[in-house]
Every structure is written in structure tokens, then in C-alpha cells.
Amino acid sequence: MNGLQQICLQQILYALLVSVSTISAAQGAASVAAFPVVYAPNRRYLQDQNGVPFPILGRASWYLISRPMADIQTYVGDSVARGYDAVEMNAIDHWSGANNPPFNGDGNAPFLKRLDGGSWNGALGYANIANEAPDFTTPNEAYWAAMDAFLDYAQSQGMLVFLFPSYVGYAGGDQGWMQEMLANGPTRMHDYGVWIANRYKDQKNLVWMVGGDMGTGPIVFNPAQTAVENALLTGIQSVARQSLYFSAEWQSESIGTDQSSFGTSMTLNSVYSWTGQVNPHARRAYAHTPVEPAFLLEEPYDQEGPDGGGTTIANPNATQPVRRFQWWGWLDAIGGYISGNGHVWPFLGNEWSGHLDTQGARDMAQLNAFIRSIAWYQLVPSGLGGMKTLITSGSSTENNADFVAAAATPSGSLLVAYVPPAHTGTLGVDMTAMNGLARARWFNPTSGAYTAIGSYPNTGTAVFTPLGNNGTGFSDWVLVIDSSDAIFANGFELP
């Protein structure tokens, strides 16, 4: 057999193997994770109890508990169908701009008593907060029974829940519970932490969340705020639990390990950038020592910018296409991402259900499917963790809109690069990162379709030209390069 025939045979067999890989990935996406999730051996990502890698593919669902169970099931069903496997939400709701706080979908409030011992009717405005705030040590069983039912249902659907027991709120204001936490004081907050951890000690699909739009510069905790947040955290930590992991949302432009008092307690390194500067922060999170799974927690949401159409919170940075933030964050952090929609997360009236099927939601379904179709857990971001600098030309710094985020497997079997809409011109890729003959394709992040480019040796630099409009009026594309030789070198193992 001559060299050309061998290459052709390899490419035919490779195509067959990739088809099998795609079928296997689709089947894996339909399976339910064996919770609780744990660190993978290299601590770079999560895996389930069977050792199956678990990408964090989350949906911001802040006020989900304010809806009745029928709505919750509709929402979770839509999320699962789009390939999501996680939600981020409050255990108790506060902000007046969202749906009916502090009540759940059955009309129950989370606590029974005020601090002065009187009955609490759910009022969140106070003449004297020291007397009238809810007593966090008087849980309302009816409220928490509904939370139990939701968590069990989410687990049955393979959904990991990033749960805030008490979201503190921007600058300690109306968005969250910091003022009530201060009124309750450290002892009660510790007792609440112990209580909620005990209630859910056998719940397997939880990640415990702390903070909430404050805690790092320029909006840091004062000593009293630090004391009540610490009391809540240490209360939860004091209880042996199935779900062991903690993460946080501090002030924007931070990662979970940044916080001076609580950063060392965070075991999943979250990335938060309201401004959309996800690349530098995600790369910081990946590079953090000690190593822990890094993921994009929050970024500009879909339909929360100029196209928002009257969302309760507007973010001028949330310009379309917002998919670029998730692609950037995922390729720079590897562990996963959480995305949101400005009309959905408040769960107001009937508005939320009409925004489940936006272009942004369809884009996330494509991203979720793409991640599951490859060996995402083997990827290492360009220039980090011993990986070469993969993009040699055509990309500026990580702070700029034309930054090309890229990652590859150390074995050289796979390289993925996201070319954002702001990119112009060609793109140079260091092909020495690949292991043998490599196939290059363009992946359309809006349709999931591939366009063949060609085959390339693993020498020198290859130059690629993005295809232009991807069908949505934008020109972002994903470059996928995989090495057929790597399969044959590894005894027909899939990359």
C-alpha cells in the first residue's frame, strides 16, 4: 500500500470512527449523571460517580422557585432538551423587580417568624428591621417541602443545582438578603447554615453558592458583613454532606478565589464579568494555584442589552451575539459555563416562557451539543498549563473583542478555536501542536454545521480564512482541527 492509499484509508476509517463518536456523545448527553459530582483526577473538571466527565452547562434561573411545579417542569424540560445540565438559582428570593419575592410558586414564604417573635407575612420593607425582619431560624416547612420536591426532580433530570442559601445582593441592597442577615446576626446565620446543610445533607446534586454581587473590590464586605457571611458558610461546612463543593459570585470582574476572607473555601473557581471581559478572568481562574475546576459563572445575558425590550435589568455590554462570551469563557476555563436571558431569570408572569426559544438559546444548544461531541475534558487553553501558544497571528490580546480563544489536547488529537465577530483577516495556527496528519473544518456556532477546509501536516503554521456571515448577520466561527494519525497511534482510540 503506497502512502497516498494509506492516507485515504486512514481518512475513511477516521470518518467512521468520528461517526461512532458522535453517536456515543449523543447517547451520553441523554443519560442522567450519577451524582454527586467530584473532582476529576487532574482537578481540572468535574466527573460523576461513574467517572464520566461532567461539563457545567448551566442556565441562570435565579427566581425559578417562585414558579409552581408545573412551570418548573416546563422550564427544566426545555433546558434538558437544549443540553443543559445545571441551573443557578436562589433558595430564597428577595429582589422586588422579579417574581413575587419572597414567596414560592405555592404562595409560601421561607420563614415563619419575625425577629421580635411575631408572625412574618413575607413583607420585605421594614419600619424597624431589627424587629420586623424574618428570623432565619424559623423555617416554614411548606416552603422547604416545595424546595425538596424541586431538588429531587432536578436530580432525576440530571440537573446540578448551584444554590444560593442567602444571596447577599449588590452592595448589600434590595437585590439580596444582606440587610436581613445583619439583623439576624452571626449566631442565627450560623444556625441557618447548619439547618439548611442538615436538610440537604443527602441531596446529591448541589453546589453551595455564597456571596452575590459584592465581596470584592470596589464593593467589599465590612467587618459586620464578613461576620454574617462567615457564619453562614461555616454553618454549612460544619455538616457532613453528599455535595461538598462551594463556589461564589462576588463583585463583577472577579473569580471565586479572589475574595480575601472566603476565597480559599471556594472549590469551584467561578468567573464573573458583567462587562464581558471573560477572557482574562477565565484564564486567571484556569491558572490559579491550587488547581480546581474553573467555569464561567456569569457574563452579559441574552436579550439584556440594546435588544432587551424592557428587561428589568439592562446591561449595555450585552450586545449580540452574546454566544461569544460563552465560547470564550468555556475555551479559557474548560470546566463549563452558565448562560442567562434577561426575560427568563426573573420569571415574571408569562413573560419568561416566551423567551425560552431565542437565537441565544438555540446557540447554547449548539454549544452544549458541540462540547459533548468532543473530548472537551482533555483540552488545555492556549498558553496555559504547558500548552503552546496555538494562535500565531490574527488575534490581539485577551482584553480585546477580536481575541481568538483556543485550546488543544496535549496529545495533539484536537484543537478548537473560537473566532469572534470582531476578528478580521486570516488566522495563523501552530500546527506543531497536532499529532500527525490533521483535518481542519469550520463549525457554525449557530447551526451546528461543519464546512470542510482540508488536511494539513503537523509542521509549521497553517493560515485559515473565516467564511464570513454565518447566517445570522455575524461572522463568528469555530475552527476545529483533529488529527487522524493520533487515532491510529493510540490503537484506534477516539480522541
pLDDT digits (tens, 9 = 90+) for 179-195: 999 999 999 999 999 99
Average pLDDT over residues 327-341: 98
Place of cell 424540560: 77
* Predicted pLDDT of residue 484: 63
User: How close are the terminal C-alpha atoms of the chain, in Å?
Assistant: 25
Q: Which residue has the higher pLDDT, 244 or 24?
A: 244
Q: Domain 35-373's class?
A: alpha beta
Write the pLDDT tens digit of every residue in 182-231.
999 999 999 999 999 999 999 999 999 999 999 999 999 999 999 999 99
Average pLDDT over residues 443-463: 98
Percentage with pLDDT > 70 across the chain: 92
Q: Where are the alpha helices (DSSP H) in 334-395?
A: 359-372
Is pLDDT above 60 for 334?
yes
Q: Where are the alpha helices (DSSP H) in 157-274?
A: 178-199, 223-237
Give the closest residue to 57 by CA, choosing from 65, 46, 68.
46
Is pLDDT above 90 for 495?
no
Write the pLDDT tens digit of every residue in 354-366.
999 999 999 999 9
The whole-angstrom separation of Cα 274 and Cα 218 is 14
The CA-atom distances, in angstroms, between 152 and each of 73, 296, 479 are 12, 25, 39
Which H, E and C letters describe 418-470, residue by residue?
EECCCCCCCEEEEHHHCCCCEEEEEECCCCCCEEEEEEECCCCEEEECCCCCC
Judge whether 55 and 336 are in contact, CB under 8 Å.
yes
Is pLDDT above 90 for 23?
no
In CATH, what is the architecture of 379-489? Sandwich (2.60)
Residue 493: pLDDT band by 50, 70, 90 thresholds? very low
Residues of the chain with CATH 3.20.20.80: 35-373
What is the rounded average pLDDT for all residues in the chain?
93
Write the pLDDT tens digit of every residue in 123-152.
999 999 999 999 999 999 999 999 999 999
* Predicted pLDDT of residue 24: 38
Cα 345 to chain centroid distance, Å, stands at 14
Region for 454 from its dihedrals, namely left if φ exceeds 0, alpha if ψ lies in -120 to 50, beta otherwise:
left
* Predicted pLDDT of residue 490: 36
* Predicted pLDDT of residue 302: 98
**65 Cβ neighbours under 8 A, 6+ residues apart:** 72, 89, 90, 91, 93, 104, 105, 146, 147, 150
Place of cell 419575625: 114
Checking 197-200 for CB contacts under 8 A at 24+ apart, the result is 197/235, 197/236, 197/237, 197/238, 197/239, 197/241, 198/239, 199/144, 199/148, 200/151, 200/241, 200/243
Is pLDDT above 60 for 15?
no
Average pLDDT over residues 333-352: 97
Choice among 14-23, 179-188, 240-249, 390-399 with the minimum mean pLDDT: 14-23
Residues of the chain with CATH 2.60.40: 379-489
Is pLDDT above 90 for 25?
no
